[in-house]
Amino acid sequence: MINFNSNISQIDWELAADIFHRAPLGERAPKKLERAFNNSYAYVFAYDNKKLIGMCRAICDGEYQAAIHDLVLLPEYHGKGIGKELFQKLREKLPVQNIILFSAPGREGFYSKCGFKRMLTAMAVFEPRIGDPERGYLEYIDTQQRNSVDRKKRDG
């Protein structure tokens, strides 16, 4: 039976990091992941009986703005409506109407089904690993911006 809770003290962060790896949603260091979740405003974990299968978290100022991050499920649980339910449970914990997120490339349709719309003026700076044009998150408006990314990649 699929169930959800926010009992963060029960989480095995090695296992949680492995879910990110397998989802896949990139590599996470268990200690950093633990701190990121603990420093978040709200989080929800999904279980199949007692087995941790997914999670998500949000940062929020409690009054105006929130941002959702790290929505992730083990691949064998995709496409069964669990992601949508997990996302909804997280939203219920947010006392604000302004919520932003950035979708992993190819997941926009999921967020659209959850009622989210594309932002017309979204702007971001990311660490080089995520900002790499090949990752598909950022649009490089001019050659100067692109050259600066290429330089950072080259110089590490």
Which residues of this protein are in contact with ligand COA, per CB under 6 A? 23, 25, 71-73, 78-84, 103-104, 106-107, 109-110, 113
Enter the tokens of residue 149. 């990314």
Least Å distance, CB 146 to ligand COA, is: 24
How buried is residue 42: exposed, middle or buried, by Cβ count under 10 Å (0-12/13-18/19+)? Answer: buried
Least Å distance, CB 118 to ligand COA, is: 13
Q: How far apart are CA 126 and CA 10, in angstroms?
A: 31
Question: Which of 14, 108 has the CB closer to ligand COA?
Answer: 108
Strands (E), 78-155: 98-100
Tell me the three state secondary structure of residue 50: coil
Enter the tokens of residue 45. 């974990």
Q: What are phi and psi of 113, to 5 degrees?
A: -65, -25
Question: Which of 21, 35 has the CB closer to ligand COA?
Answer: 21
Question: Which of 63, 127 has the CB closer to ligand COA?
Answer: 127
Least Å distance, CB 20 to ligand COA, is: 8
If we measure between CA atoms, which residue out of 68, 69, 75, 78 comes closest to residue 28? 69
Q: Which residue is nearest to ligand COA (CB)?
A: 83
Question: Which of 19, 60 has the CB closer to ligand COA?
Answer: 19
Question: Which of 116, 140 has the CB closer to ligand COA?
Answer: 116
Least Å distance, CB 132 to ligand COA, is: 17
In contact, 87 and 98? CB cutoff 8 Å: no
Least Å distance, CB 148 to ligand COA, is: 26
